[in-house]
Amino acid sequence: MSKESLVTLQQAFDERRSIYALGNELPVAPQAIVNIAERVLLHTPSSFNSQSSRLVVLFGAEHQKLWDIAEEKLRQAVGDGDFSGSKQKLDGFRAAAGTVLFYEDKNVTKSLQQQFALYADKFPVWAQQTSAMHQYAMWTELRTLNVGANLQHYNPLVDEDVAKAFSIPDSWELVAQMPFGNIVEPAGKKTYQPVNERMKVLGL
């Protein structure tokens, strides 16, 4: 990839979108995605610096396996119902280059609940928020490499089979799935609610 095609983090912030038309011809070496995932784990904040987030980065056949599991589980759930819409969506994810799985380690949350009983009910909420920060950091960082992504939630339907397929520890809870790949088609137009209705600035 030429240097010119790299975008700054600030541009990526503005240009990140949900990209559903993804391909498996990454504009960067797969290792660049792994490097990003490592940086996301290192530098994304977490409540009480718990570092409770866990990432699994799937490429190629392992990525295909994930979407095969999702299809199988979803077909079972739908039964005799129309599966064509779901099939089209799942084939779209399968066509991507890989998927990042976002987990939270429940053991970390449990340990914090025991240590800080006053906040016991808050830690599961903060774990979800911590995961969301990792998801957003990953999504935006991918955009700096011109790699498109979207965010999916086939959990808890797929949890058990995915854990078996990828040897996921029992204490890891699946929160989200992020298929990524080259951008085959850009995202459609997005509508924006006026910012001044969603923000107050005081004391300027």
Ligand X SMILES: Cc1cc2nc3c(=O)[nH]c(=O)nc-3n(C[C@H](O)[C@H](O)[C@H](O)COP(=O)(O)O)c2cc1C
Q: How far apart are CA 59 and CA 119, in angstroms?
A: 38
State both tokens at 61.
Answer: 């056949």
Residue 114 in contact with ligand X, rule: CB under 6 A = no
End-to-end alpha-carbon separation of the chain, Å?
A: 44
Binding part of the chain for ligand X, among 38-46, 115-123, 148-156, 160-168 by CB under 6 A, reads 148-156
CB of 65 to ligand X, least distance (A): 20
What contacts 1, CB < 8 A, 6 or more positions away? 27, 28, 145, 146
Helix (H) or strand (E) holding 72: helix 60-78
Q: Which two tokens stand for residue 63?
A: 């990525």
Question: Using CB under 6 A as the criterion, what x/- string covers residues 2-31 for binding ligand X?
Answer: ---------------xx-------------
Contact assessment for residue 166 and residue 62, using Cβ atoms and an 8 Å cutoff: yes
Residue 31 CB neighbour total at 10 angstroms: 8
- Total interface residues for ligand X by CB under 6 A: 8
- State which of residues 189, 190, 198, 200 lies at the interface with ligand X (CB under 6 A): 190
Judge whether 124 and 109 are in contact, CB under 8 Å: yes
For residues 46 and 131, which CB has a smaller minimum distance to ligand X in the complex?
A: 131
Q: Does 187 bind ligand X (CB under 6 A)?
A: yes
> CB under 6 A: which stretch of 23-31, 32-40, 146-154, 164-172 binds ligand X?
146-154
Stretch that binds ligand X, among 24-32, 49-57, 144-152, 162-170 (CB under 6 A): 144-152
Q: Which of 50, 52, 144, 152 binds ligand X (CB under 6 A)?
A: 152
Which two tokens mark 188?
């459609």
Q: Which of residues 54-93 bind ligand X (CB under 6 A)?
A: none
Interface positions with ligand X (CB under 6 A)? 17-18, 150-153, 187, 190
